[in-house]
Amino acid sequence: MPKITSQQLRKRTQESAANASIKPKTIVSPYDKSSKKTGKGGASNGANGGSDGSRHFGPMFNKDLGQHILINPLVSQGIVDKANLKQTDVVLEVGPGTGNLTVKILEQAKRVIACEADARLAAELTKRVQGGPFQHKLEIIHGDVMKQTLPYFDVCISNTPYQISSPLTFKLIFHRPIFRCAVLMFQREFALRLVARPGDSLYGRLSVNCQLYSKVTHVMSVGKNNFKPPPNVESSVVRIEPLDPPPPVDFEEWDGMVRIAFSRKNKTLAANFKSTATMQMLENNYKTYCAANELMVESDFDIKKKVLGVLEDLSLSETRASKMDVVDFLKLLSAFHDADIHFC
């Protein structure tokens, strides 16, 4: 991962400022094409100035990153408290902005590695800690976290840019070595989807995939007035604790099956699996698997009969994916594999 010095940050800041508009602009989330609603991008945690170390940097905002400053110090402290930091912890912070959350982490952790995509905000954070007691504890990495190879860390804390919520979640879940926990701020609906249980209206493929590899809990609701400028969506903080050891499951196989099951989550499994496209894909996979393992394809082979037979044997034909938990899906995947049915 590339490291940058204060001198490099200042140079990048000067170059960015030359191209930046002087007039403050309304910050619009990049995933809202209508530009009429804004979501909290999460890449900013505050800046110097004011009793809480925050002020409104209009020209510094990058609307492509959806930046909104977290201005409530009680919320920042609450996020850090939920991480249960130790003095020996190395903390990865994604989207530190200008550092309201960062300085609270630095007070409790051994070291903080902050990944910031905006060179101007990275320079502001560098200036904030420069010459202070935390300077030697902070390492700043400038760049898109999704393009970085993550370093070793014990805990991840992030006021997450909403446009990378899902990819960041799974980048963390699949990170090795396994870390202790992540405390992440998300858009309220996304957070509730992560923690949803069978039968909940928001329960779906995202819920199942995340809960396969981790314990996820909702720890805090954060109103939009805790940000400046305030977004049009509410936020929530979740705590993710990866399972150690992780389940011995091929994720591509798992996700292929779960994708079919939730293709119409309120339809029965039988209805979803016997669609023409699904049957054709499973038949091709079956024949490929048999050829690769030198197995004979039965002369009376019928993929539809084989698939529905697996569902019937488990008494799941009339079951809906929205009512199944992770254990149910694990049993189903195992039964399909026993029948040489694969999903990738």
The CATH number of residue 76's host domain is: 3.40.50.150
Closest by Cα among 113, 83, 121, 246 to 175? 246
Residues 224, 184 share a domain: yes
DSSP code of 202? T
166 pLDDT above the threshold of 60: yes
Mean pLDDT throughout 216-230?
A: 92
Residue 131 is predicted with a pLDDT of: 94
Closest by Cα among 277, 242, 238 to 259? 277
Residues 158, 45 share a domain: yes
Q: Which has the higher per-residue pLDDT, 221 or 29?
A: 221
39 pLDDT above the threshold of 70: no
138 pLDDT tier (thresholds 50, 70, 90) = very high
* 337 is an annotated ligand-binding site residue: no
Which two structure tokens, joined as six digits, stand for 261?
């099951």
CATH of the domain at 257: 1.10.8.480
* 50 is an annotated ligand-binding site residue: no
- State the Cα–Cα distance between residues 272 and 265, nearest whole angstrom: 9
Residues 142, 11 share a domain: yes
Residue 343: inside a domain, yes or no? no
Residues 332, 255 share a domain: yes
- State the Cα–Cα distance between residues 317 and 13, nearest whole angstrom: 60
Residues 156, 283 share a domain: no
Select, from the ranges 25-39, 54-68, 268-282, the one with the highest average predicted confidence (pLDDT): 268-282
Mean pLDDT computed over every residue of the chain: 86
34 pLDDT above the threshold of 50: no
Cα-based angle 129, 131, 132 (whole degrees, multiple of 5): 60
* Count of structural domains, the chain: 2
Residues 280, 198 share a domain: no
Residue 228 is predicted with a pLDDT of: 79
27 pLDDT above the threshold of 70: no
- State the Cα–Cα distance between residues 68 and 42, nearest whole angstrom: 6
- % of the chain with per-residue pLDDT over 70: 81
Residues 256, 234 share a domain: no
Residue 155: inside a domain, yes or no? yes
Residue 344: inside a domain, yes or no? no
- State the Cα–Cα distance between residues 39 and 230, nearest whole angstrom: 9
* 159 is an annotated ligand-binding site residue: yes
Closest by Cα among 140, 105, 152, 135 to 13? 140
Residues 45, 160 share a domain: yes
Residue 333 is predicted with a pLDDT of: 98
Residues 324, 183 share a domain: no
273 pLDDT tier (thresholds 50, 70, 90) = very high
Q: Which has the higher per-residue pLDDT, 178 or 66?
A: 178
Residues 272, 238 share a domain: no
- State the Cα–Cα distance between residues 147 and 82, nearest whole angstrom: 27
Q: Which has the higher per-residue pLDDT, 143 or 40?
A: 143
38 pLDDT tier (thresholds 50, 70, 90) = very low
Of 194, 221, 242, which residue is a domain's last? 242
Amino acid at 248: P
Residue 139 three-state SS:
strand
Q: Identify whether the C-beta of residue 96 lies closer than 8 Å to the C-beta of residue 9.
A: no
Enclosing domain of residue 296: 251-338
Residue 1: inside a domain, yes or no? no
Residues 307, 196 share a domain: no
* 68 is an annotated ligand-binding site residue: yes
Residue 218: inside a domain, yes or no? yes
* 32 is an annotated ligand-binding site residue: no
* 95 is an annotated ligand-binding site residue: yes
Residue 43 is predicted with a pLDDT of: 42
Of 242, 267, 286, which residue is a domain's last? 242
81 pLDDT tier (thresholds 50, 70, 90) = very high
Residues 195, 267 share a domain: no
239 pLDDT above the threshold of 90: yes
195 pLDDT above the threshold of 80: yes
Name, in order, each residue with C-beta under 8 angstroms of 135's C-beta and a sequence gap of 6 or more. 129
CA 84 to each of CA 61, 81, 105, 324: distance values in angstroms, whole numbers, following the listed order: 31, 6, 11, 32
Of 242, 261, 276, which residue is a domain's last? 242
Q: Is the alpha carbon torsion for 261, 266, 270, 273 positive or negative?
A: negative
Q: Is 92 exposed, middle or buried (0-12, 13-18, 19+ CB in 10 A)?
A: buried
